[in-house]
Chains A and B, each alone.
Chain A
Amino acid sequence: MFKFSLNWLRDYFEEKIKYDEIMNKLKLQGFEFGGKKEIDGDIITEIEVKANRPDMLYHMGIAREIKAFDGEKIPEITHEKCTVNSEDFPVKISVNKEVCKRYCALKINGVDLKKATPEYMTKRLNALGINSVNAAVDIGNYVMLDMGQPIHAYDFDKIAGKKLFIDKSEKDSKVTTFIGEEAEVKKGDIVIFDDESIKCVAGIIGTQGAAVTENTKDIILEAAVFDEIPVRLTSRRLKISTPSSFRFERGVNVSSTRDVLLKCAEMITKICGGKIETNIFDFYPEKKEEKSICLSVKKANDLIGEEIDKDLMIKLLEKYDFKCTAQDSDTIKVKIPSYRLDVKLEVDLIEEVARIYGYDNIKPELPTIKTSYTKNEVWDNMDIIREVFTGLGFNETINYSFIPNNTMNVFGIENGDRLYSDLVLQNPIAGAYSLMRPMMTHSLLSSLAYNYSVNNNNLAFFEIGRVYFKDNSFDTGVKETDTLGFIMSGVRIPKGFGQDKDIKYSYYDLLSYLNVIMNRFGQNFELRQNDYKFCEEGSGYDIILSGKVVGFIGELNKSKLSSIQNVKLIKDQIFYGEFYLDTLTEKVKKIKFESKYPSVNRLYNLLQRKDVPAGEIADVIKSSSEIIRNVAVKDIYFDKTFKENEYAVLYEVKYCSKDSTLTAEQIEDIENSFLKKLNEKWGISFKK
Chain B
Amino acid sequence: MSAEIIKDIENKKTELESLLKNAKDLKEVSSLKIEYLKKYVKSLYSELKNASVEEKKSLGKIINDFKNFAEEKIKEAEAKYKQEKSAAKYDVTIFKDSIRLGSMHPLTKLYKKIEKVFVGMGFSVVQGPEIETDKYNFEKLNLPPHHPARDMQDTFYISAPNVLLRSHTSSVQIRTMEKLKPPVQIISPGTVYRVDDIDPQHTPMFYQIEGLVVAEKISFANLKAVLIKFLKEVFGDEVGVRFRPSYYPYTEPSAAVDMSCTKCGGKGCKTCRNTGWITVLGSGMVHPNVLEGVGYDSKKYTGFAFGLGLNRLALAYYNLDEIRKLYENDISLWRQI
Interface residues of A (CB under 8 A from B): 27, 29-30, 32, 50-53, 228-229, 232-233, 249-250, 302-306, 345, 347-348, 350-351, 354-355, 359-360, 362-367, 369-371, 373-374, 376, 378-379, 383, 386, 389-402, 423-429, 433, 436, 447, 450-451, 454, 456, 459-462, 465-466, 468, 474-478, 480, 482, 492-494, 497
Decide yes or no: A305 and B243 within 8 Å by CB, A396-B103, A401-B205 being known contacts.
no
Taking a contact as CB atoms under 8 Å apart, the answer to whether B288 and A425 are in contact is no
- Report chain A residues within 8 Å CB of B215: 367, 369, 371
CA distance A30 to B246 in the complex (A): 6
Pairs across A and B, CB under 8 Å, 30 listed: A304-B221, A305-B221, A347-B287, A347-B288, A350-B252, A355-B253, A359-B243, A362-B224, A365-B221, A365-B224, A365-B225, A369-B183, A369-B185, A371-B122, A374-B126, A383-B112, A396-B108, A398-B105, A399-B327, A401-B205, A425-B157, A425-B158, A429-B204, A433-B198, A436-B131, A447-B329, A451-B329, A476-B132, A476-B133, A477-B158
Known interface pairs A359-B243, A392-B102; 16 further A-B residue pairs with C-beta atoms within 8 A, sorted by A's residue number: A232-B148, A303-B220, A303-B285, A345-B252, A351-B254, A359-B220, A369-B183, A376-B125, A376-B127, A389-B102, A390-B102, A395-B331, A398-B327, A400-B204, A424-B158, A477-B131
Taking a contact as CB atoms under 8 Å apart, the answer to whether B198 and A369 are in contact is no
CA distance A475 to B41 in the complex (A): 93
B42: CB under 8 A from chain A? no
Interface residues of B (CB under 8 A from A): 96-98, 100-105, 107-108, 112, 119, 122, 124-127, 129-133, 146-149, 151-152, 156-160, 163, 165, 183-185, 191, 193, 195-198, 203-205, 213, 215, 217-222, 224-226, 228-229, 242-247, 249, 252-256, 285, 287-288, 302, 326-332, 334-335
Taking a contact as CB atoms under 8 Å apart, the answer to whether A249 and B124 are in contact is no
- Report chain A residues within 8 Å CB of B254: 351
Q: Which of B103, B193, B195, B287 contacts A395 (CB under 8 A)?
A: B103
Q: A52 — nearest CB in chain B belongs to which residue? A: B247
CA distance A351 to B157 in the complex (A): 34
- Report chain B residues within 8 Å CB of A371: 122, 124, 183-185, 215
- Report chain B residues within 8 Å CB of A429: 195-198, 204
CA distance A392 to B193 in the complex (A): 32
Closest 6 CB pairs of A and B: A305-B221, A30-B245, A305-B219, A351-B253, A364-B225, A50-B247
CA distance A345 to B213 in the complex (A): 22
Q: Which of B130, B148, B228 contacts A364 (CB under 8 A)?
A: B228
Distance in Å from the Cβ of A23 to the closest Cβ of chain B? 12
CA distance A370 to B217 in the complex (A): 13
Distance in Å from the Cβ of B15 to the closest Cβ of chain A? 47
Taking a contact as CB atoms under 8 Å apart, the answer to whether A365 and B195 are in contact is no
CA distance A251 to B149 in the complex (A): 13
Q: A397 — nearest CB in chain B belongs to which residue? A: B329
- Report chain B residues within 8 Å CB of A395: 102-103, 331, 334-335
CA distance A514 to B146 in the complex (A): 49
Taking a contact as CB atoms under 8 Å apart, the answer to whether B221 and A354 are in contact is no
Distance in Å from the Cβ of B299 to the closest Cβ of chain A? 9
Taking a contact as CB atoms under 8 Å apart, the answer to whether A428 and B156 are in contact is yes
CA distance A397 to B327 in the complex (A): 8
Taking a contact as CB atoms under 8 Å apart, the answer to whether A399 and B285 are in contact is no
Taking a contact as CB atoms under 8 Å apart, the answer to whether A391 and B104 are in contact is no
Taking a contact as CB atoms under 8 Å apart, the answer to whether B129 and A51 are in contact is no
Q: Which of A50, A302, A427, A474 contacts B246 (CB under 8 A)?
A: A50
Taking a contact as CB atoms under 8 Å apart, the answer to whether B329 and A478 are in contact is no
CA distance A394 to B288 in the complex (A): 47
Distance in Å from the Cβ of A628 to the closest Cβ of chain B? 34
Distance in Å from the Cβ of A165 to the closest Cβ of chain B? 24
Distance in Å from the Cβ of B313 to the closest Cβ of chain A? 15
CA distance A456 to B191 in the complex (A): 27
Distance in Å from the Cβ of A598 to the closest Cβ of chain B? 32
